[in-house]
Structure 1
Amino acid sequence: MQSSNVQVDSTAGKYVPPHLRNTGDDERKAELEKLKRNVKGLVNRLSEPNMASISGQLEELYMSCSRKDMNDTLTEVLLAACVTPALMPDRLLMEHVLLISVLHHTVGIEVGAHFLETVVRKFDEVYKIPSESKECDNLVAIVGYLYNFQVVHSVLIFDILKLFVGAFTEKDVELVLFVLRNVGFALRKDDALALKELISEGQRKASNVGSKFHDQNRVRFMLETMLALKNNDMRKIPGYDPEPVERLKKLQRTLIHRSAGGSDMKLRVSLDNLLAAEQVGRWWIVGSSWSGAPMISEQGNANSKQSTAEGQFSAKVLELARKQRMNTEVRRNIFCVIMTSEDYLDAFEKLLRMGLKDKQEREIVHVLMDCCLQEKTFNAYYAVLGEKFCSQDRRFQMTFQFNLWDKFRELSSLPSSTFNNLVQLVTRFLQKKCLSLSILKVIEFGELDKPTVRFLRQVLTKLLKETEPEDLASIFGRISGIPKLGMLREGLKLFISHFLLKNAQSQGPAEQAAMLSERAQVATKAMEAKEAKLKL
């Protein structure tokens, strides 16, 4: 019975996370030592040619071991290799940071976030104690390369530069030069205004304090470098060579091309946020826990046990999520992000940063569709967000397709507002070419019921009337010449002639009927285009 009490605090009945259980156990220490040897062996063999192999093996370790143990071990091994009293070669630092960047995109943002936070904490400690050691330079270089390889946003780099310019000692001037030489032109591209303000502040400091320095050349060199950046003149910076970074960036793009994380997974976090993470929590990691004292001060208080969503979102939004039957934490978080984002790009970035995989990732489409269809009137926000996901990766297109097929089977039972929203959403996706007309292949044109006829009539009429002829040719041309879609093409041609054109001539104005007939001909010709070529 004694051993079973290790995992649960018997007095308070509290759950104890796996990494806090059996902390003195020899078996666990042996496991961690073995893990450290494995990771160290892989990192020691790391080089540009075998980057894919090493990152793949580390991904496998992430799958088979605790993520916390892996993050701690990998960070410890990398810092031991990169942060020494001597200045490390740029190539070595770049390769090690590239490895973190690849894992950040393929495994999850918590890999880069943990490494970044550890590096920044270490930098804060070393920076406060002046010494001749080059540890501080190495740590600053690591942060710079994390920015170069898309792990962190420029906000952090500007915070560090402002810290150096504010203190403006000889060591600070040296570090400013070091940072600007490594990432100055990238900063100019990302935020030219912020760089301009920083340069102005640096020039003011140099005129006020620079005369007190023993070595005036260093200050002069810093000002020349700043001026070269301001004028976008790379030649004026001695030793500046962007080629090694660009070559590794190209390698990075090939290694993370198929990752599920998306293109923008940069951590938009400030220096103060990182240093105060233990006090205010890690908001930049979706789903991270926080054990700050105010939340655990009362052991018996059930209200203090908040889920991730409850800590991030207002009670009003959470109540709305409950009413919409968002019954799992993943669905709740997705719903709250969609509802509280500033715009569709903000929502897209936040949803990607959640780092969802496979089945959980498909929930994004399910929740998005659910929100869109439950609105009283159609809201284009959901459609635009859906378009963004479709353009991001084909797997989102497939999830939307399967979701729409489910809705097509339920047309007869859909409320009027939901039916209208579905018509608008499908038409929009077809117009923007997010989805192909092949989504209609599941509809049996020989056995159409009234709701399906109404749905197809509304979608096709809207598509023909509101789309330019050139775009129509492109939309209908996508299903041309594909043998498997022959039945769909014949079904659409028959439906357009029988249900659309006959009704239009008898019901609407002559001009509308003429335009519809003209557009229908464009659509029919587009569907037959490749077939005609094949016959020739």
Structure 2
Amino acid sequence: MAASVSPAASPSSDRRRGKSRASPPDRDRDRPRDSNPAESNGGGAPKLSRDNVDDRSPRRARVPDAEEGGDRRRRRSSDSDDERGDRDRDRRRRRDRDSRRHRRRSSSSESSDGGRSRRHRRDESSRRQRDERRHREERRRRSPERKEPTPPLPPPPPLLPEMIPGRTGGIYIPPFRMAQMMREVEDKSSTEYQRLSWDALKKSINGLVNKVNATNIKNIVPELFAENLVRGRGLFCQSCIKSQMASPGFTDVFAALVAVVNTKFPEIGRLLLVRVVLQLKRAYKRNDKPQLLAATKFIAHLVNQVVAHELVALELLTVLLENPTDDSVEVAVGFVKECGAMLQDLSPQGLHAIFERFRGILHEGEIDKRVQFLIEGLFAIRKAKFQGFPAIRPELDLVEQEDQFTHEISLEDELDPETNLNVFRANPNFAEDEKAYENLKRSILGAESSDDEEGSDDASDEDAEEESDDEDDEEQMEIRDQTETNLINLRRTIYLTIMSSVDFEEAGHKLLKIKLEPGQEMELCIMLLECCSQERTYLRYYGLLGQRFCMINKVYQENFEKCFVQQYSMIHRLETNKLRNVAKFFAHLLGTDALPWHVLAYIRLTEEDTTSSSRIFIKILFQELSEHLGIRLLNEKLNDPNMQDSFDSIFPKDHPKNTRFSINFFTSIGLGGITETLREYLKNMPRLIMQQQKPASSESGSSDSGSDSDSSSSESESSSDESDKKRSKRRKR
């Protein structure tokens, strides 16, 4: 019987041969393979049928059950892995075959079934992605990765003085911890203690320099002298330069601080000037404009404080203007603005030479237009004698020029910045130096303290009385807001409430909820009138709102009366539209009796006392009143005998000219009906004048009768004398 070949191929055959799916076909590909890995490894002989029993290989010896079970489990696991690998390969092979089949399609079929093929490809790609994702998840689930636990962090090292590395202190140590460490150190001259005191000195100097300003500089100076400035002079100079670079607006404050320190320690002032000059030269070589501007500004204020000599400023300006560029000329202009006032006093001829150089640069015209305008502005400032650019502010003028040490340095000199002073170095004579500075500090600051101690024993009672007086003054002192911030916020609240309300009732309800201090009711009236005047046309909303407040409280009525007087006195400042709205607002208040009618007494209707604006105001006011009340009721109001004193200024009767002007004015605006009483008075005015003159003439006749008789007798005598003279002349002829 012929030998039969097993149809099933071993799943691990390819893996055992080390062949990939993409490898070329092998000759022994179609050869039958045995499922038993041991036999296949033994030579790959074909498996025979059961009938051919004579040619089979001899049976192996029986192994123990435990070993057989282990081998069986290993074979089963390897078989399952091989089967999964075969399935993956078959799936990939089918995908490749489908893709080749799709590519072999003709162009016509692709055009006809383009949409379907695209959908098929999308489905294939999505299915492929799902399968791959599922296989990855299965592998990850079957072979989970073991995460190793992260080792714990080592504990931080303890803060010990010998562990403080670095040039200038190293790690940060809190102040309380620093003080504790300094107390724990027994040897006050040891290197650890010196390092701790150096760090404390650096922090103190930096804090004082960063805290200084024009108002507290007098308090900062004693605190600064209390620190060891001899030991920390490098730190002080470094802190001043860094702070000035960060805040150029406070340059004059830093210069004033340096000027005060320079009076007691001139070497510190010279060291800072040297470092600033070196910073300027470095910035000039590197074309670093911001740093150059900061350095020139610092030098300018040191010149103003007479710490630096004026020759330093003139030499610097000469260097900047020797080969003028846009940036160098701009820096020179800023430098002259800062210290020009002092140079005008110290060296007027040198400053004149500098301005002549500026003039030459301006005439050459080789620089930018913007810089030319800067030079022209500088000439204008010089013409105004540097107004607005003072050399020293009054609050920073702390040192007399006689007490100041002036340093003269050339830009061409070799200067030593002494950078080693910025770094900590152990001092073998640390304790002696500290004691020496304590004595020096006592000589600087101790004079005032000793005088105070001697005087305190003599005048203890006076101090107690002064303290009591100061306490009383503090209790009586009131803080007043001169910026009127609360008033502005109140006006804003009133304005927003008025403009956001739907009707006058809602606005009145909201405005009454605002808590007003006594005397702030006037602000509400002013804001209401201002809002009314800003409208394009008059809105009855404002009149009703003002009427509501006048009816609620009499205080608002009095305030609106004051507003009427103020508006009429400044009526010529208002535009025509605002004038119309204001007049209609007050006409509404008068027509509804919310405002008393005696306010009209402030109006005097004459040609001399009125202007065009006031006449327009009166015209609109009375026209609105006639529309509200009617001409008859208005006439009754104006003819009320109790109110005639208030209306005499509107209907004047003191002179016929003023009376005629009032009649003509109301007639021209269409309200001649309210002037009937005034017309009757004008008709009867001559009779009244005659009646007033008759009693005056009778009184004058009775009093002058004696004088008339005397005058008649003297006249008769004079006439008789004249007749006698005429007769004597005739006789002579």
TM-score (structure 1 length as normaliser): 0.40
Larger Rg: 2
Higher-RCO chain (CA-CA 8 Å, sequence separation at least 6): 1
